[in-house]
Amino acid sequence: MNIILLGPPGAGKGTQARILVEERGMVQLSTGDMLRAAKTSGTEMGNKVAAVMEAGELVTDEIVIGLIEEHLATTKSEGGFIFDGFPRTLAQADALGELLARVNLKLDAVIEMRVEDDALVKRISGRYTCGNCGEGYHDDLKQPKAEGVCDVCGGTDMVRRADDNEDALKTRLMAYYRDTSPLIGYYYAKGDLEPINGLGEIDEVAQAIRAILD
């Protein structure tokens, strides 16, 4: 199945995407990861990305769609694809729809993870990751078994994002409501939208997603 995980920053999209990759063999198409990899790939599209980013300019929708098309053509996925970080705007949603039609794929569900703003602030301001392996933790919700020591790799370098604070989050939320929240109505009108409560425990949210995909 091919899905979009939709929701504000901190809703838990990355966590749920990792679960889907592990459980169902889906491939997570993260535009951020693709752009970073493309810079050093040496491909024609990669050279375009490198030139734009080195010039300090914003990567165009056309380039991002080109990268996604490249990955769809070259990546084998038994479980389907998860679109992560794209689309963010109505124009990008149209472009993605046209691309999927062009390569004979369809979008099976757009899962909207609903989380209240106050809960987001609490969730984001408390999170941190292992600087070695990237495992995520939280001051209240998920602490490592041994304080300051990663459960996965044993690393002790714990990192907090500079923008994981209340003021920065409000700025990011404003951008989400301005640019991305119109996608909720867009996909509802298409009959693709599946809203779930993103405030539950990780396993509860994962189960709600399983119910949709099954």
- Would you name the residues annotated as active-site residues? 13, 88, 127, 161, 172
DSSP-based three-state secondary structure for 1: coil
- The b-or-e profile of 79-92 (16+ CB within 10 A means b, else e) is ebbbbbbbbbbeeb
Which amino acid belongs to residue 114?
A: R
- Alpha helices (H) along the chain: 13-24, 31-39, 44-54, 61-74, 90-102, 117-125, 166-175, 182-189, 202-213
The order of strands in the sheet holding 109-114 is 27-30, 81-84, 3-6, 109-114, 193-197
Cβ–Cβ under 8 Å, residues 192 and 107 = yes
* Pairing relationship of beta strands 158-159 and 81-84 according to DSSP bridges: unpaired
